[in-house]
Amino acid sequence: MATFVLVPGAWLGGWCWRRLTPLLRDAGHEVYPVTLTGLGERAHLGTPETGLDTFTQDVVGVIESEELDDVILLGHSASGLVAAAVANSIPERVQRIVYLAANIPTNGEPMMGGNWKKQALEEARASGIPWRWPIWDDLSEDGPDLSPEDVAWIRRHAVGHPLKVLFDPVPWDNPKALALPHSYIHCTLEMGPWDEVKSDPAGWDLREIKSGHWPMASAPNELAAVLNAIAG
């Protein structure tokens, strides 16, 4: 049995793991889906100052208040960097970091800079909420396996992502965190930093799943099987 803490990516809340969580629990694991400040049922708590430190404390708070140890800490998409920041803060509580179609950390670097940052700011201003990054108009580009029902489900619950999180530098310099085992799950129907991961394989446990960017929606059984293998 393993203890999973699941951190959703941009625009998503703990609700996004609804199809995966029972599969992992049926396999005997403990599962803690996290909703980050300003997202999901906590959307009303977001402010322009909601940043990476806020998200880090959200996850640390779950781990500490639930008295969890030997955690398999999974970060999806942008929250690969949140998972890294959490591990950097409390590496003694973490058994392994799992990056699911995720950004991987470089110490002191944000997720978004340069043209990416400029584009996100323009999209936020156009949405009328200049501190939230709106969800993409077309989810099929990175999620070609999403059904219309999947897309409708995501869109019903997704909210704009606090931009400051994406612009804050990521702390990734704690030797204990750097030494943690780490897995990368590549979703083969999308683009992503897979080439970057493969080019530096030292220490990586590399996995693949045939899905787009949101396998918790489109391929929960396949994702559960990969996570069971990682836990085993």
| Res. 41 pLDDT band, cuts 50 70 90 | very high
156 Cβ neighbours under 8 A, 6+ residues apart:
none
pLDDT band at 161 (very low <50, low <70, confident <90, very high): very high
The total of other beta-carbon atoms located within 10 Å of residue 225's CB is 14
- Per DSSP, helices labelled H in 49-103 are 52-65, 79-89
Domain count, the chain: 1
| CB contact at 8 A, 150 and 120 | no
Q: Residues 130-144, buried b or exposed e (16+ Cβ, 10 A)? A: ebbbbbeeebeebbe
Query: pTM of the predicted model, to two decimals?
Result: 0.95
Mean pLDDT, the chain, as a whole number? 95
Q: In the 8-state DSSP scheme, what is residue 72? A: E
pLDDT of residue 190: 86
H helices, E strands: number in the chain: 10, 8
Q: Model confidence over 82-114: pLDDT tens digits?
A: 999 999 999 999 999 999 999 999 999 999 989
What's CA 93's distance to the chain center, in Å? 18
Domain span at 96: 3-231
pLDDT digits (tens, 9 = 90+) for 165-194: 999 999 999 999 999 999 999 999 987 655
154 — pLDDT class (breaks 50, 70, 90): very high
CATH of the domain at 139: 3.40.50.1820
